[in-house]
């Protein structure tokens, strides 16, 4: 895998991000099935954003559904970087003109109060590092034309991350059941996605543990204060301009986002 090829893929995605015009899939530029090459592409554009003044605030975990993993031919989740300028306040309207083909997912987000900078953390150690949980909505978008993606495309494209909305509640994790908590996302009062914590690798903490280990291995360990979006609790939903999407998660409360016409 040549550095030039990695750079070319990163440049295509960066141009799509900068211009708002989707690009062709980048997987054909990379060795087939080489996820590490895709992460190398992601890292180039992460460093680009950091060099331009962006502030890293956490990570998002994707592909936590076994069904979606099967669809993409993989057996593990992926991750992307969260930056401060991706954060939207609860209930605030999103400018759809800045997006390509957005979709929304309901997730449990955890905020850390301790570093996880050691190899192979246990679930107990992960739980001990968490300050609180909150309901959240991830707004995903693909810089790849028509969402024509496979695993290398979404990894290279920062796991399709674009915006996120955190609820205003801060719930200690011992005060709700992360595995059994039910989730419903509504639009115009009608359910458009339902699920539960168990849909996220059996328990969202399992996803956070996976991420913590992965980040140590990749040299960017999780730190106190990091926001960790643990993965979708139900099916992804395509966004319609002019609509409001509200998520309720048992024991955590609610969060909403709206999209401008």
* pLDDT tens per residue, range 142-168: 999 999 999 999 999 999 999 999 999
Q: How far is CA 259 from CA 62, 96, 240, in A?
A: 23, 6, 7
Model confidence pTM above 0.75: yes
Note the pLDDT tens digit of each residue in 33-63: 899 999 999 999 999 999 999 999 999 999 9
Residues of the chain with pLDDT under 50: none
* Extended strands (E) in the chain: 56-62, 78-83, 87-88, 93-94, 103-112, 130-140, 161-166, 182-187, 190-196, 227-232, 237-238, 244-249, 253-259
Query: Would you state the pLDDT for residue 1?
Result: 56
The single residue listed with the structure tokens 């895709």 is 38
- Structural domains present in the chain: 56-259 (3.90.850.10)
Gyration radius (Cα) of the chain, Å: 17
Burial 70-81 (b: 16+ CB within 10 A, else e): eebebeebbbbb
Strand partners, 82: 58
């Amino acid at each position: 895998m040549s550095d030039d090829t990695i750079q070319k893929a990163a440049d295509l995605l960066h141009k799509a991000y900068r211009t708002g015009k989707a690009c062709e899939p980048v997987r054909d530029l990379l060795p087939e099935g080489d996820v590490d090459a895709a992460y190398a592409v992601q890292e180039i554009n992460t460093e680009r954003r950091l060099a331009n003044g962006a502030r890293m605030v956490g990570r998002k975990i994707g592909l936590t559904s076994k069904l979606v993993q099967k669809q993409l031919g993989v057996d593990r989740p992926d991750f992307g970087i969260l930056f401060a300028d991706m954060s939207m306040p609860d209930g605030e309207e999103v400018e759809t003109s800045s997006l390509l083909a957005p979709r929304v997912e309901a997730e449990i987000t955890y905020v850390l109060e301790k570093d996880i900078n050691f190899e192979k953390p246990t679930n107990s150690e992960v739980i001990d590092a968490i300050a609180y949980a909150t309901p959240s909505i991830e707004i995903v978008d693909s810089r790849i034309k028509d969402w024509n993606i496979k695993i290398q495309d979404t990894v290279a494209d920062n796991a399709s991350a674009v915006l996120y909305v955190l609820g205003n509640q801060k719930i200690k994790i011992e005060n709700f059941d992360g595995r059994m908590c039910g989730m419903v996302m509504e639009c115009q009062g009608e359910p458009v996605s339902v699920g539960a914590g168990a849909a996220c690798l059996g328990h969202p903490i399992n996803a956070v543990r996976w991420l913590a280990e992965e980040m140590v291995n990749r040299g960017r360990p999780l730190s106190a204060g990091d926001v960790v979006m643990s993965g979708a609790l139900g099916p992804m939903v395509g966004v319609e301009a002019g609509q409001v999407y509200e998520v309720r998660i048992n024991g955590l409360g609610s969060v909403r986002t709206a999209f401008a016409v």
